[in-house]
Amino acid sequence: MTGYDALLVDLDGTVYRGPEAIEGAVESLEAVRRTATVSYVTNNASRGPDEVADQLRSLGLTVVPEDVVTSAQAGAAVVAGHCEPGDPVLVVGTEALAEEIRLVGLTPVRSDEDAPVAVVQGHSPDTGWRILAEAGLALNRGVHWVACNVDPTLPNERGLMPGNGSMVAALRTASGREPEVAGKPAAPLLRQAVDRAGAGHPLVIGDRLDTDIAGGHAIDADTLLVLTGVSTAADLLPAAPGHRPTFLGADLTVLDGDLAPTHVATGDTAGWSVDRDGDALVLSADGDDTRDDAAAALRALCRVAWESDGHPGVRAADDRAARMISALGLPTG
């Protein structure tokens, strides 16, 4: 961790799935707190920082509300930049999002009849047709639209469920409009977290290439992808440059030691080698190294895959490599 003064850590799929902490996450984050600021940065706008901090404390983490930065806070700040004090803003989301609108000096409303000058939209499990219809009326009048995030899915212990981006898509279809985005991968949320932490060299950590890692690129920060949430090994190989992580680990326990071995370009690939054969990557296991480190194998594959554009399939040069390819869920070809 040498050189990083703050960790900007995603929550869903990184620290926990649903109500349960991911194995090793709590212990690793508590250890890191001794040498760096740890901020929890979530695209989920459904809860306020107090509620998020309460959940994290229940898992065993040492957290105060000021350590939590939500896309609801970022969304409210972005909306405020387009409004005058006291202006009505139509809220599509929870009361936590409405409270953030109040805290920036604006008036949350739930109907287009209140003449809102903007719409702000964040995740709520109770979002239904009626509030989407009110927002659609406002958007079709031409008011400014801010989405707290556009994540299409939300991971929990049962799997992937519709996220705020799926509801944003409904209004995009109904209005023909595009929102201004406050959460990851857009920069406002992470910049707010950097400013609050007073960070000069932050590390952005998460489980999604299209939000966490792309968001890190948006603020020119190094990134760590963990394979405990949405993005998979199959997503990594064809990842565009702006979605490629600096570091790659199985989970947050990689923070327990030297982070350098998890660097994708220069880190540990012990036990594995990769050659390109036409459009395919050929993975070989080192017969003298019996470790089955999936992250090391994946780092070796990424190095060769990212040397050129394309979506390479993977072939195995031996039985152990075949088992690893299957375990990683990679396409063969």
10 counts as catalytic: yes
Q: Choose the catalytic residue: 10, 67, 112, 222.
A: 10
Q: Which residues contact 108 (CB under 8 A, 6 or more apart)?
A: 88, 89, 90, 91, 97, 98, 99, 101, 102
Return d(Cα 302, Cα 97) in angstroms, integer. Answer: 39
Tokens representing residue 185 in the block: 């991968």
| CB within 8 Å of 274: residues ≥ 6 apart | 281, 282, 283, 284, 300, 301, 303, 304
- SS3 at position 177: coil
Rg (C-alpha) for the chain, rounded Å, is 21
H, E, C per residue of 200-229: CCEEEEECCHHHHHHHHHHCCCEEEEECCC
Strands 153-156 and 159-162: antiparallel
Reduce the DSSP state of residue 54 to 3 states and report it: helix
> 56 and 39 in contact (C-beta within 8 Å)?
no
Which residue carries 């900007």 as its tokens?
8
Give, rounded to a whole angstrom, the gap between the first and last alpha carbons of the chain. 37
Token pair in block for residue 234: 């199959």
Catalytic one among 5, 12, 289, 292? 12
| Residue 308 token pair | 């050129």
Task: Give catalytic residue positions.
Answer: 10, 12
